[in-house]
Structure 1
Amino acid sequence: MTTLEFDYVIVGGGSAGATLAGRLSEDPATTVCLLEAGGPDKSVLIHAPVGVVAMMPTKINNWAFQTVPQKGLNGRTGYQPRGKTLGGSSSINAMVYVRGDRWDYDHWAALGNEGWSYDEVLPLFRRSEHNEQFDDAFHGQGGPLNVTYPRHTSPLNQMFLDAAALNGVGLNADYNGVRQEGAFMYQVTHRNGERCSSAKAFLTPHLGRPNLHVVTHALSTRILLRGRRATGVEYLQGNAGKRVTARREVIVSSGAFGSPQLLLLSGIGPAAELQAMGIPVAQHLPGVGKNLQDHIDYVQAWRAPSDTQTFGVSLRGTAKMTAAIFEWRKQRSGMLTSNFAESGAFICSRREHSRPDLQLHFILAIVDDHGRKIHAGHGISCHVNVMRPYSRGQVSLRSREARDAPVIDPNFLADERDLQLLLRGGQLQQRIIESSPFDGARGDMIYPVRADDAAAMTEDIRNRADTQYHPAGTCKMGPASDPMAVLDARLRVRGIDGLRVADASVMPTLIGGNTNAPSIMVGEKAAQMVREDARHA
């Protein structure tokens, strides 16, 4: 078996992993190997923002995982799309740039994670960012991650903002600034009318660096250990087994599902579960795969006249999209630059709350079952999700084979408080969309339910709610006093030298908002800590 050696081996080229590889390889004296299970990020479906509609419901650049049947969702099996290409989920997501609330990071620090308060992570967000609209204490200039507004914006977004205001949700020009609450146009990770994924920002511009070695179609199967030290990674390319060794560290950045799976396959996790699988126990860590949190999401959709500026299945819509293809190819403008979720809001379920606990995404199309169920004609949708869910799930092994998808159990709505919050959110978003600004642009509901019929809406939630695509927490960081903490605050795996995890799985609690920007921040933070620890070694 051929073995190559580097200073650092990173498993996973997603939001955090691509960031980490790009940052560490800035030092020409440091050698970095990045292993990515998917392929290069060359597809036009990645680069054209509207391509998300083709990738999200399919296996194109997508792991397309399934959950176990969810008791809280009337026994339904949920869907969990995850990016399988350079850039990971930042290459297939809706590109909205959301950091979360100041409270989220101060809460992490209060849990015993030194260095993770809002004031300490804000410089990392700013370091990554080049914001085309905001240049202030909250936003960065000159960073590799371009943040701006979509070049295409439908007039229906103004209807949403006006309707939100009629329902007590005022305009907030910058939800990543002083305060989060309010309605707004989403900031997105675009550059010149194209998607700006973590790979396009931090990695692919630097593939010519002689100290950066990127291996695609490389499925990592096991972390190599010598005693209690990580020394490398075994992986598969096709059916060929290969390995790469790390002089300094192995860093796992395979996401909230992939990272715990690889640790478990390597004998790091709950001893009883490993023994039941016939995997020798290298380090008993009961928290590996536990603490899974995800934003439970409820979508309501309405039909709309075909002449409104929405996306849909119609002769007129097909003609518009055909013209838009040529416009995008020539000018990188027009409808193909839309991310569909152009506007939204952070709202408080109760007036007395001090911070938002519900998030809305207003969508310029009918969305049903993650886009897997197509409706003829045009329409609009609105998503609402519970920002800080109380329910906790887990990720475990299906088998000892890395090719087999992990067992994913989000345990959605196991805590009654999540259901009550989502019900409240569904009622609020329905009142917004059914307000007067949408008169003439809003037709019948796809799944009719009255906002004041709590029982009917509760049943509709259980029948149709699912993920908002933000799984986190399965390798959480925490103090030594927390027996379920997998990592310390420097993202080092407890009991194993030379091994870290850096991605959304490290979050002790899910942040209030989309997780791509925070995952990129985790990559920035990990690179900073790796460099510091190397200097002091």
Structure 2
Amino acid sequence: MRDYLVIGGGSAGAVLAARLSEDPQVSVSLLEAGGEDSSVLIHCPAGLALMAKQKASNWNMSTVPQAGLGGRRGYQPRGKVLGGSSSINAMIYVRGQPEDYEYWSAQGNPGWGWSDVLPYFQKSECNMRGADALHGGGGPLHVSDLRDPNPLAQAFVQAGVQAGHAHNADFNGPSQEGVGLYQVTHHNGERCSAAKAYLTPVRGRPNLEVITQARVLRVLLEGRRAVGVEYEQGGQVRQLRCRREVLLCAGALQSPQLLMLSGIGPGEHLQQLGIAVAQHLPGVGEHLHDHPDVVQVMDGPQLTDSFGISFTGIKNLCRGVGLWRRERRGMLTTNFAEAGGFIRSRPQEAAPDLQLHFVVGKLVDHGRRTVLGHGYSCHVCILQPRSRGRVRLASRDAQAMPLIDPAFFADADDMQRMVRGVRRMREILSQPALRGLGGREFAHSAGARSDAEIERFIRGYADTIYHPVGSCRMGPGPQDVVDARLRVHGVEGLRVVDASVMPRIVSGNTNAPTIMIAEKAADLIRAGR
């Protein structure tokens, strides 16, 4: 029996297990459905290019058919390995806007305003530029400038300035707005995942047990108290009990799934599947949302500085492999989405409502499809979508994937904003710094010029930018799942600690905020609150 059971070894679970086990008087078990983070594809940043095809470390889930995407099923990659999605993501370090957290607090969540969460961002961060009023310099999570930025990424930044946007050297600084190169979770030319930052240095602690290849099937309840978990490992079903708390860190798609499998959730749905209702919580699985995103791809055979499959590209790659092995430098230190920006879809917006990710290669179908030649790509996503979807159980079989419905573009404002976003993105891509490189737009988007044509292009090609949140929403209302201390309403000894608790998505990438949530949760737990 352990004091704490942490379910999921991803961005939140790795943090919680490491922080709670700092106290030698408590014992912690971390259960991760995936394996060890030993693959070179994880630690070499450019290995990202193959992660979408590498099934062992990725749940590779899909949405239900999306009406807003013309009936297509969207792709939902999630990390299935120590480090979770921080072991397979694009390593971009972005916190969002201070107003995001002020909104959380205003929804009845004291302690989650910007001034409350900033110290936890700083606590987690070891920024290579050093500590200041907004950054940390001594945390476990290394945040770095790109070692060898690609010339194409620098051309994008120049094009953004030519289009009238400010150059922003720090998207986590006083202002998020503008274009620039992203800082990334790298250390010495390698990926710095949550597992590598928090777990790897402390695996030798006698009070910390890390159990991999352990898929949790349900939370064990005695009355309305969580007392342990049931999990499957190596074909055998086992149980593990705890004295204090079960901490659910399985992410925005699988944390609500596990709650429902355990009898905690919308009663009618559970009863339909023959699951006994232990606690009726109608908000479990509701309010799911994500950043919808679409990509414009540019073909440029002459752009051999970009990543691509050609005779020259293979020669460059071979040289890059040698340089990375020797010095942890060169083209393999890329995160591909090297540059980007936060811009307004129209001048009257109060704050940036669009994010751009500029990719130094031709990205098609999330990298799942191999495309010959060279070029570049640019994503645009809307930062505050109004559409809300849900997660539901497909069956009472814990091994079945959940039914995922982000309801992309269910709210008409999201599509209107995205159409404006495509136009603003094109303004940047048409500037001399990029236009002079001679790239040619892929046919599927090139013909989309009117608003109606752009909308058809979006419905045919848009998808997630991998930021699902909100399905175990924090708040005091009847549709909320956890309170401001992340305790599940009506169930003792059970908390949810991951992106699912966000009352509303942050204006940017979600990995750094998820790590922050876990840092704050560790303090709440240790304080007995």
TM-score range, shorter chain: over 0.9
Amino acid at match of 1:474: S
Q: Any idea what SS the aligned residue of 1:109 has? A: helix
Name the counterpart of 2:40.
44
Name the counterpart of 2:490.
495
Name the counterpart of 1:514.
509
CA contact (8 A) 1:265 1:400 kept: yes
C-alpha separation between the residues in 2 aligned to 1:49 and 1:112? Answer: 39
Q: Which one of the candidate residues 64, 67, 71 is aligned to 1:71? A: 67
Name the counterpart of 1:462.
459
- Is it true that 1:239 corresponds to 2:235 in the alignment? yes
Name the counterpart of 2:472.
475
Q: Which one of the candidate residues 313, 332, 339 is aligned to 2:335? A: 339
Q: Any idea what SS the aligned residue of 1:377 has? A: coil
- Is it true that 1:113 corresponds to 2:109 in the alignment? yes
CA contact (8 A) 1:261 1:406 kept: yes
- 1:148-182: CA deviation from partner (whole Å, max 9, x where unpaired): 11212111222111111122211111110111111
> TM-score, normalised on structure 2?
0.98
1:305 CA displacement: 3.4
Name the counterpart of 1:526.
521
CA contact (8 A) 1:283 1:496 kept: yes
- 1:311-359: CA deviation from partner (whole Å, max 9, x where unpaired): 0111110111111111111111111110001110000111122211100
C-alpha separation between the residues in 2 aligned to 1:177 and 1:509? Answer: 21
Of stretches 139-148 and 303-312 in structure 1, the one that deviates more from structure 2 is: 303-312
- Is it true that 1:349 corresponds to 2:345 in the alignment? yes
State, as a whole percentage, how many aligned pairs show the same letter: 55
1:439 CA displacement: 2.8
Q: Any idea what SS the aligned residue of 1:288 has? A: coil
CA contact (8 A) 1:57 1:370 kept: no
CA contact (8 A) 2:121 2:135 kept: yes
Cα distance change, pair 58–338 in 1 and its aligned pair in 2 (3 A): same
For the aligned residue pairs, the C-alpha RMSD in angstroms reads 1.1
- 1:52-94: CA deviation from partner (whole Å, max 9, x where unpaired): 1111244130000011110000000110000000000000000
1:448 CA displacement: 3.8
- 1:78-126: CA deviation from partner (whole Å, max 9, x where unpaired): 1000000000000000000000000000000011101000000000000
* Matched ranges for 1:242-391 at <5 A: 242-391=238-387
Of stretches 166-175 and 52-61 in structure 1, the one that deviates more from structure 2 is: 52-61
Name the counterpart of 1:101.
97
CA contact (8 A) 1:344 1:360 kept: yes
Unaligned runs of 5+ in 1: none
C-alpha separation between the residues in 2 aligned to 1:339 and 1:65? Answer: 23
CA contact (8 A) 1:305 1:442 kept: no
C-alpha separation between the residues in 2 aligned to 1:332 and 1:434? Answer: 34
C-alpha separation between the residues in 2 aligned to 1:450 and 1:522? Answer: 43
* Matched ranges for 1:222-233 at <5 A: 222-233=218-229
Name the counterpart of 2:142.
146
CA contact (8 A) 2:63 2:74 kept: yes
CA contact (8 A) 2:340 2:358 kept: yes
CA contact (8 A) 2:245 2:495 kept: yes
Amino acid at match of 1:337: T
Amino acid at match of 1:511: V
Amino acid at match of 1:162: Q
C-alpha separation between the residues in 2 aligned to 1:49 and 1:445? Answer: 27
Name the counterpart of 2:417.
421
C-alpha separation between the residues in 2 aligned to 1:358 and 1:390? Answer: 14
CA contact (8 A) 2:303 2:437 kept: no
Of stretches 411-420 and 452-461 in structure 1, the one that deviates more from structure 2 is: 452-461
Name the counterpart of 2:50.
54
- 1:235-279: CA deviation from partner (whole Å, max 9, x where unpaired): 000210111111000000000011000000000000000000100
C-alpha separation between the residues in 1 aligned to 2:23 and 2:325? Answer: 36
- Is it true that 1:395 corresponds to 2:380 in the alignment? no
Q: Any idea what SS the aligned residue of 1:291 has? A: strand
- 1:445-473: CA deviation from partner (whole Å, max 9, x where unpaired): 11343574212111010000000000000
C-alpha separation between the residues in 1 aligned to 2:71 and 2:448? Answer: 24
C-alpha separation between the residues in 2 aligned to 1:179 and 1:350? Answer: 18
- 1:358-416: CA deviation from partner (whole Å, max 9, x where unpaired): 00000001111111222210010000001111000110101111111101011101111
Q: Any idea what SS the aligned residue of 1:313 has? A: coil
Cα distance change, pair 468–307 in 1 and its aligned pair in 2 (3 A): closer
Amino acid at match of 2:482: L
* Matched ranges for 1:7-22 at <5 A: 7-22=3-18
Name the counterpart of 1:202.
198
Cα distance change, pair 81–119 in 1 and its aligned pair in 2 (3 A): same
CA contact (8 A) 2:95 2:509 kept: yes
Of stretches 268-277 and 350-359 in structure 1, the one that deviates more from structure 2 is: 350-359
- 1:174-193: CA deviation from partner (whole Å, max 9, x where unpaired): 11011111111101000000
Name the counterpart of 1:486.
481
Q: Any idea what SS the aligned residue of 1:471 has? A: coil
CA contact (8 A) 1:15 1:87 kept: yes
C-alpha separation between the residues in 2 aligned to 1:79 and 1:134? Answer: 37
CA contact (8 A) 1:58 1:64 kept: no
Q: Any idea what SS the aligned residue of 1:17 has? A: helix
CA contact (8 A) 1:38 1:218 kept: yes
Q: Any idea what SS the aligned residue of 2:293 has? A: strand
Name the counterpart of 1:212.
208
- 1:275-325: CA deviation from partner (whole Å, max 9, x where unpaired): 001000000000000100100001001012344410011111011111111
Moved over 6 A (4+): none
C-alpha separation between the residues in 1 aligned to 2:438 and 2:48? Answer: 24
Amino acid at match of 1:528: D
C-alpha separation between the residues in 2 aligned to 1:448 and 1:526? Answer: 44
* Matched ranges for 1:154-233 at <5 A: 154-233=150-229
